[in-house]
């Protein structure tokens, strides 16, 4: 029993996680490029014009993956933050810190492409409807998490304070996701559901899923690169970092 | 309990009570979070009195009438109808039989004077040929 626990926590030490992350990063970049090229090609050349919205709907291929990522990264960030809070593992806090800027980027991208899409289709850049407002709150949660972490000098205390904020903010994620179901909103309901077939032409769906995979791979690659930088910064006093940098 | 288990229990308990608090808050705010009311709710007197609000529904087929710069149409939820007058630019997706959200005030003559008209599209995406086929099939139905 004792043996297996030690094995599990092996990669929870910054020293062994640092080279592992370094070896994985190029593969994730390669996957980002592959999924991105295939996804963009389908998005622009294969997917048909939409009957209602014409060519303008194609912004969906960036908007939906960005929105999904903004919500999912938050869940992953909160998971790491909670794990760090409960088990006092060092890499957990660093992972949460590394994910936040990418999550904020995705939320900003989602809001920005949404505005660009809303103006021609709805007739408004912005509406205070439940979906849009809760996504804006998500963006602010990311910024708040980053600001709070940066404001506290001691990294362990910064991690703890950030973790509590991240965990409290989790409440917002189901609100974003179900907002179009629970309330009257201008934003339309979800096209992709777990319970029924997607109400979307097959090739459009493929384009969207490939773009979503591209965004996944990008987020992982960037988060791992960032976590390596954070590890070096926080462990700069240790022997192994001095050797690793040389 | 070990300190670690205590922390986990504390976090789980905190999250659970937070979820309950959020649920109660959202429940209490329910009517304020809704972006618009339906024509049926307006007819039942649930619309805010004396201030601007939004009505959402479908643009009744064949009800759009243009007169100089003013557009008149009827917004319906298939149960109740409300006539709307609007002067200004309409979004591209504003069409007969499609969804729309109008913002403005209800006049004493029962006509809703809109200051903003937004188009609401649905969550279905399909090529024009598929849309045509569906329309044909629906026309064929008795």
Query: What are the structural domain ranges in chain A?
Result: 19-46+57-245
**Which SS3 state, helix, strand or coil, does residue B58 take?**
strand
B53: DSSP letter: E
Q: Give the span between the Cα atoms of B30 and B43, in whole angstroms.
A: 20
pLDDT digits (tens, 9 = 90+) for A208-222: 999 999 999 999 999
Q: What angle do CA A112, A115, A116 make, to 5 degrees?
A: 90
Helix (H, G, I), strand (E, B) or coil at B109: coil
User: In chain A, what residues touch B127 (CB-CB under 8 Å)?
Assistant: 48-51, 201
Q: What is the ipTM of this complex?
A: 0.81
CB contacts of B31 in chain A (<8 Å) are: none
Q: What is the pLDDT of residue A1?
A: 44
CA gap B17, B110 in Å, rounded: 47
Q: Model confidence at A49, in pLDDT bands (50, 70, 90)? A: confident
pLDDT digit string (tens) for B17-56? Answer: 888 888 888 888 777 778 888 888 888 887 777 788 899 9
Partner residue opposite A51 with nearest CB, options B26, B90, B126: B126
Closest approach of chain B CAs to the CA of A246, in angstroms? 38
| Confidence check: pLDDT of B67 > 90 | no
Contact yes or no for B127 and A87 at CB 8 A: no
Average pLDDT over residues A223-244: 89
Nearest to A57 among B56, B90, B125 (CB): B125
Q: Which residue has the higher pLDDT, A204 or B2?
A: A204
Q: Based on the number of CB atoms within 10 Å of its own CB, is A49 exposed (0-12), middle (13-18) or buried (19 or more)?
A: middle
Q: Is the pTM of this model over 0.80?
A: yes
Whole-number percent of chain A with pLDDT over 90: 62
Contact status, residue A94 vs residue A227, Cβ threshold 8 Å: yes
Q: Which letter, b or e, does each residue of B98-123 get, where b requires 16 or more Cβ atoms within 10 Å of its Cβ?
A: ebbbbbbebeeeeebebeebbbbbee
Closest residue of chain B to A119, computed from CA coordinates: B91
Pick the residue from chain B with its C-alpha nearest to A192.
Answer: B123
Residue that wins the pLDDT comparison between A141 and B14:
A141
Of A38-42, A149-153, A210-214, B126-130, the one with minimum mean pLDDT is B126-130
pLDDT at residue A23, rounded to an integer: 92
Q: Closest partner residue to B121 among A53, A85, A182, by Cβ?
A: A53
Give the residue-averaged pLDDT of B130-137.
80
Which of B26, B123, B133, B136 to substitute to test the interface with A, most A CBs within 10 Å? Answer: B123
Which CATH superfamily includes the segment(s) B39-120? Nucleic acid-binding proteins (2.40.50.140)
Packing angle between helix A155-169 and helix A130-151, nearest 10 degrees? 170
Inter-residue contact A121 to B121 (CB < 8 Å): yes
Chain B within 8 Å of A79 (Cβ-Cβ)? Answer: no
- Answer whether A2's CB lies under 8 Å from A209's CB: no
| Choice among A154-158, A225-229, B66-70 with the minimum mean pLDDT | B66-70
Question: By a Cβ cutoff of 8 Å, what residues of chain B touch chain A?
Answer: 4, 7-8, 11, 14-15, 18-19, 22, 26, 30, 33-38, 56, 89-94, 101, 116-132
Evaluate if residue A246 carries a pLDDT over 80. no
pLDDT band at B10 (very low <50, low <70, confident <90, very high): confident
Distance CA B7, CA B2 (A): 9
Pull the structure tokens for residue B46.
């649930």
Find the helix packing angle between A90-121 and A130-151, rounded to 10°.
150
- CA B117, CA B89: separation in Å to the nearest integer? 8
Q: Reduced to 3 DSSP states, what percent helix, strand and coil does chain B have, rounded to the nearest 5?
A: 35, 30, 35
A6: pLDDT confidence band, cut at 50, 70 and 90? Answer: low
**In this complex, which of A53, A57, A171 lies closest to B22 when CB atoms are compared?**
A171
Beta bridge partners of B72: B65, B85
């Amino acid at each position: 029993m004792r043996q297996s626990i030690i094995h599990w926590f092996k990669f929870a030490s910054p020293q062994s996680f640092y080279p592992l992350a370094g070896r994985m990063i190029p593969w994730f970049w390669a996957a980002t490029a592959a999924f991105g090229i295939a996804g963009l090609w389908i998005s622009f050349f294969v997917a048909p014009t939409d009957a209602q919205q014409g060519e303008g709907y194609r912004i969906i291929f960036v908007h939906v993956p960005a929105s999904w990522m903004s919500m999912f990264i938050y869940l992953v960030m909160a998971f790491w933050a909670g794990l760090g809070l409960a088990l006092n593992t060092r890499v957990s806090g660093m992972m949460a810190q590394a994910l936040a800027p990418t999550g904020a980027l995705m939320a900003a991208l989602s809001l920005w492409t949404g505005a660009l899409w809303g103006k021609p289709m709805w007739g408004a850049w912005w509406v205070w409807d439940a979906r849009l407002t809760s996504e804006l709150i998500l963006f602010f949660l990311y910024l708040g998490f980053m600001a709070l972490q940066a404001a506290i000098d001691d990294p362990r205390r910064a991690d703890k304070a950030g973790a509590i904020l991240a965990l409290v903010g989790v409440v917002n994620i189901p609100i974003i996701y179900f907002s179009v179901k629970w309330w009257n909103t201008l934003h339309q309901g979800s096209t992709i559901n777990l319970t029924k077939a997607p109400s979307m032409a097959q090739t459009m769906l493929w384009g969207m899923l490939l773009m979503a995979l591209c965004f996944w791979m990008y987020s992982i690659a960037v988060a791992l690169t960032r976590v390596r930088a954070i590890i070096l910064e926080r462990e700069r006093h240790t022997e192994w970092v001095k050797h690793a940098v040389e | 309990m070990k300190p670690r288990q205590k922390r986990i229990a504390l976090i789980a308990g905190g999250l659970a009570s937070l979820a309950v608090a959020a649920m109660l808050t959202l429940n209490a705010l329910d009517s304020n979070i809704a972006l618009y009311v339906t024509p049926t709710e307006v007819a039942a007197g649930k619309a805010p009195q004396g201030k601007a609000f939004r009505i959402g529904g479908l643009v009744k087929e064949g009800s759009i009438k243009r007169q100089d710069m003013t557009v008149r149409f009827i917004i319906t939820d298939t149960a109740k109808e409300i006539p709307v007058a609007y002067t200004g630019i309409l979004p591209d997706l504003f069409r007969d039989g499609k969804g729309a959200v109008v913002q403005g005030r209800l006049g004493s003559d029962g006509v809703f004077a809109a200051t903003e008209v937004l188009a609401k599209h649905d969550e279905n995406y399909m090529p024009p040929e598929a849309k045509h086929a569906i329309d044909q099939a629906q026309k064929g139905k008795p």
